[in-house]
Amino acid sequence: MTKDIATPLRTKEILARHGFHLKKSLGQNFLIDTNILTNIVEAAEIDEETGVIEVGPGIGALTEYLARKAKKVVAIEIDQRLLPVLADTLSPYPNAEVIHSDVLKADLEQLLIDKFSDVKQVKVVANLPYYVTTPILMRFLEGRLDVTSITVMIQSEVAQRIAAKPGTKEYGALSIAAQYYAHAERVMTVPASVFVPPPRVDSAVLHLRVREEPAAKVIDESYFFEVFHASFANRRKTILNNLTHNLGPKERKPEMEEALQEAAIDPKRRGETLSIEEFATLSDALYTRLKA
């Protein structure tokens, strides 16, 4: 069997052989702990009928673990300098393919058609750069792509916010945006010490099981997003004050109060106490008064 990439010695050797220097701007931190990789693949529930999209494969540490379990892995890498490195490290895995692209600009719908017509299901698995975590996650979720789950290693604090429940200090607009599309579960904490170079904060593995239908039905989805974003604009303010100042116009405050009454929501409550279902009911009540 091929030697694992994710060991301190092998990682150092690969980087030295290719003369590769890390770019801080791309958030490059390479994992050097095989136990963590095993846990990620297990959490993602990868099998021989699964196709995997990986974002930011780095030097291929997670990619090889995925390739050993999945039918096919397509890794999207933005850093052109890593292409020859990956061609080297992934050469033992013919079922792993690397595409040079920016995942936020790539035609992911077409990629799914072109690369995964012969698999039973497609999953996203990645060690995401901190600076672009949310846009990448929302690209997959909002795009309603045909993927069944997303398992990612991200900044621990962000994982807490995404998986947070109503009434907690971590619960906010990001929690609702993600949980509207998926069931979120924080799987494990990953210490900074298992990366080269070590990041300044700990990471966490987050598993998102994509819903077949969104968590709530609403009249207008984009307006629903407007409503809950407005509700969290100032966490110290009540739901009514936030809506009045951020959803506006202010002269429509009486109608906003009516909408809150119809939705059975106390106007003195704060946004972080409302569930997705309550935001959906409120959104529809506001829409019929302010938009319809």
Q: Is 127 annotated as a binding residue?
A: yes
Determine how many CB atoms are found less than 10 A away from the CB of residue 263.
18
Residue at 77: amino acid letter: E
Residues facing residue 123 across a β-bridge: 52, 149
CB burial class (10 A; 0-12, 13-18, 19+) of residue 43?
Answer: middle
Q: Residue 31 annotated as binding?
A: yes
Structural element, H or E, at residue 85: helix 83-89
* C-alpha to C-alpha distance for 286 and 242, rounded to whole angstroms: 14
Beta carbons within 8 Å of 73's beta carbon, 6+ residues apart: 51, 52, 54, 63, 66, 67, 93, 95, 96, 97
Report which secondary-structure segment, H or E, holds 208: strand 203-210
Is 167 assigned to a binding site?
no
How far apart (Å, rounded) are the C-alpha atoms in residues 126 and 74?
A: 11
Name the nearest CA neighbour of 225 among 142, 168, 137: 142
CA distance 112 to 64: 20
**Which residues line the annotated binding site for S-adenosyl-L-methionine?**
29, 31, 56, 77, 102, 127
Binding site: which residues? 29, 31, 56, 77, 102, 127
